[in-house]
Amino acid sequence: MSEIQTIPVQVGKGYEVRVGHGLLDTVGKAVKESFPDSRTVIVTDSNVAPLYLERVLDSLRLAGIDAGSCVFAAGETHKNMETLTGILNEAALFRLNRKDLLIALGGGVCGDMTGFAAGCYMRGIPFIQIPTTVLSMVDSSVGGKCAVDLPAGKNLAGVFHQPSLVLCDIDTLDTLPSEFFADGMAEAVKTAVLTGGRLAELCLTPDRDNVRSIITECIRYKAGVVQRDERELGERKLLNLGHTAGHAIEKCSGFQVPHGHAVAVGTAMIARAADLKGLSDGSVSETVEKMLLAWDLPLHTSFSADDLLEASKSDKKAGGAGITAVIPRSVGHCELMDLTFDELYELFRIGL
Ligand code: GLY
C-alpha cells in the first residue's frame, strides 16, 4: 500500500488530506501548485526540528519558495499566548503578507498554535498542516480547531481556521517515541467507539501494520463530521467523547499528563459509568478497556471525583449549570446528554 490516499474535506473552500509515505519531499511542489509566488514560515518544535525541518526547507527551496522557520520549545506547557506571540512575531520579521502562508510541522500543539497564528496574522492567512504524530494525524490536523491554553483552562483562546492542505507522511511515525505513539492511539480508540465496525476491529489488534488504515479510517470519519457541523453546534460535539474527564485530568496534573493518556482514562471512565448506570448495552467498557490496553494506554486516574469536577467547571464546554457529555450507548453508537454538575460528579464517581 504505497500509493497516496486523498481524503477531501468539503468545508469552506475545501481541502485535501493526503496520507502516504515520503510526503515530506512533496511539500515544495504542493505549495508551488496551490500558492505560486508565495513565501512561507515553517513552524515546528524543538523535538521535530532536528528530525525534519531541513528536509522540508530543502523541498521548498527546490521548488523555488522562499522559506523561513520558527522553532518553539516542545510540549503542551508551551501551548500558550507567549509562544503564539513568538510565532506571530517571526511571521512579521520574515515579512509575510496576506498572500503568504504558514506551515505547521509537528504534533497537535504545533498545529493548534500555527493554525491560530495563521487565523489572526494580518486577520487571516492560509496554512498547511504536516502532522508528525498519530494524534495530530487522526484528529487535530483536520477540522480547523486551533487554540492555545490559558491558565484558567485548556484551549480557551482560539479560532476556527481550516488548513489549505494536510500532508500525513506515515514515515514520520518511525521516529515517534512509543509513549507519543500510544498517546495518539487514544484518539483513534475514541473514534472507534464512535464508529464501531472496521475501525473498532483494527483498534483491538495492536499491530503497527494497521496504523495507516487506522489513520485513514479516523480521517474519513472526522472529515464527514466536520463537513456536517464545522462549528460544533451538534454532531461534532461527539468528538469530545472522553474529553470531559480527559481535560479535567490534564488540568489537575498541570498539563503533565499528556492529552491522549488523559483522553484514554476519560473514555474508560465514561464507558464504565455508562455501563454501571444502565445508560449503555452493559458491555461498552469491556471493549473500550481491551482497545486501550492493546495500545498500552491507562484506564484509571488517581485524581478524585471532587478534583475532576472542579476542573470541569472551567472547561470551555461547560455552561453555568452543567455540561454536555458524550455517552457511549454501545461501541458504534454514542449520544450527547446534557448533565448538571451533580450528575457529572456522579458519573465521575462511579467511573473512576
Ligand atoms: N478534536 C475534536 C474536534 O476537532 O472537534
Q: What is the pLDDT of residues 22-64, one digit of tens each?
A: 999 999 999 999 999 999 999 999 999 999 999 999 999 999 9
Q: For residue 320, what pLDDT is reported?
A: 76
Do residue 196 and residue 136 come from a single domain? no
Asked if residue 161 and residue 25 are part of one domain, the reply reads yes
The preferred substitution site among 141, 232, 259, 326 for testing ligand 1, maximizing ligand atoms within 8 Å of CB, is 232
Q: pLDDT, tens digit, for every residue of 304-320?
A: 999 999 999 877 777 77
The candidate with the shortest Cα–Cα distance to 275, out of 237, 325, 330, is 330
Whether 261 is a known active-site residue: answer no
Number of domains in the chain: 2
Catalytic status, residue 222 = yes
Residues with CB under 6 A from ligand 1: 139-140, 143, 145, 232, 236, 239
User: Catalytic one among 39, 247, 261, 272?
Assistant: 247
Cell of 192: 472507534
Residue range of the domain that includes 237 = 178-204+232-351
How far out from the chain centre does Cα 326 lie?
Answer: 17
Distance CA 155, CA 235 (A): 20
Question: Could you give the 3-state DSSP secondary structure of residue 158?
Answer: strand
Say how far apart CA 245 and CA 325 lie, in whole Å. 10
Scored b (16 or more CB within 10 A) or e, 3-37 reads: eebebebebeeebbbbbbeebbebbbebbbeebee
Binned at pLDDT 50, 70 and 90, residue 290 comes out as: very high
154 and 24 inside one domain: yes
Read off the pTM.
0.95
pLDDT at 309: 96
* Mutation test residue for ligand 1: of 9, 17, 140, the one with most atoms within 8 Å of CB: 140
Q: In the prediction, which pLDDT does 255 show?
A: 84
Q: Compute the distance from residue 240 Cα to the ligand 1 centre, in Å.
A: 7
In this structure, are 186 and 106 located in the same domain? Answer: no
User: In this structure, what CATH number is given to the domain that contains residue 44?
Assistant: 3.40.50.1970
Q: Are 129 and 111 found together in one domain?
A: yes
Taking the C-alpha atoms of 190, 179, 172 and 254 in order, what is their torsion angle to the nearest 10 degrees? 80
Q: Would you say residue 227 lies in a domain?
A: no
